[in-house]
Structure formats: C-alpha cells, structure tokens
Amino acid sequence: MFQLAQIITGKSEKDLFTVLALKADIILAVTLTMAVLQQAITGMATSWMLLLVGSLFSIIVLTGLDKGARKALAGIPSYIPYVFGIYLFFVEGFGRLTQLVTSFSIVNAALVILFFVAGNVVATVGYNAVVYARRLEQSH
C-alpha cells in the first residue's frame, strides 16, 4: 500500500505513515476520552479498562514509530495497534451490535458505528505500523 501511495503522491514512506498515524491517533484519542469518562461515571469496568489501556498503548506505539523510537517499538510492541483495532472492530463493534437486538438506543447504535469505523482505521494503521517498523528495522 505504501509503494502505490508513494507513486501516486510522490511522498516519502515516513510522510505517508505520519498522515495515517495522525488519523488513527485522533480516533484513539476519542476512544481514550470515552473510556476515561466511562471509568469516572460507572467505575472500573473491564470493557472500558481495555479500551483505556489499548488506546493509550496504541497512541504511544504510533507516536513512537513516527518520532523515531524504532528500536524499542520494532518488535512485538508494533503489533499493539493492529491487535487493538481488531479488538475494537470485532469485540466492541459486534458485541454492541448484538446488544442492540435486546435493547435499542441511539447511543448504543452510535457506539456500534464508532467502534466499527475506529476498529477499521486502527487495524489498518496498525498493520501499516508493523510493515513500517520492519522496514525501519531492516534499513538500520
């Protein structure tokens, strides 16, 4: 994907990753804010705690890869955004979708859409983060 985008836009791989990571960071910041607010309102719940921790670690990894902390983040940590995006899409998105059958509300419907979109964006950027980290690791 990076190579095709580089040909079309003429930008470097780092510039393209920066744009993708910025989009994911915005979505992750929204998810992190929701998780913090829900933790403050309802107390400690596992689902919201996973959203809080996953968002925080994903932001750290994406920002660290963008800023050049590739030695610390090139291995297993580079998979965190990808796995978290899959969690958002399948567990949070589909889990809340099945809850809509029993009790429909506009808020739950909006959360389903948010988690489907967020999961898709974060998983896509997470996959590109793994590829980008490997290329950075190979180049140095």
Residues 54-78 have pLDDT tens digits of 999 998 888 877 666 666 666 788 8
Surface-to-core class of residue 40, CB atoms within 10 Å of its CB (0-12 exposed, 13-18 middle, 19+ buried): exposed
Q: How confident is the model at residue 8 (pLDDT cuts 50, 70, 90)?
A: very low
Q: CA 140 to CA 133: how far, in whole Å?
A: 11
Query: Has residue 29 got a pLDDT over 80?
Result: yes
pLDDT band at 83 (very low <50, low <70, confident <90, very high): very high
| CA pseudo-torsion sign 53, 58, 61, 67 | negative
Task: Report how far Cα 48 is from the mean position of its chain's Cα atoms.
Answer: 15
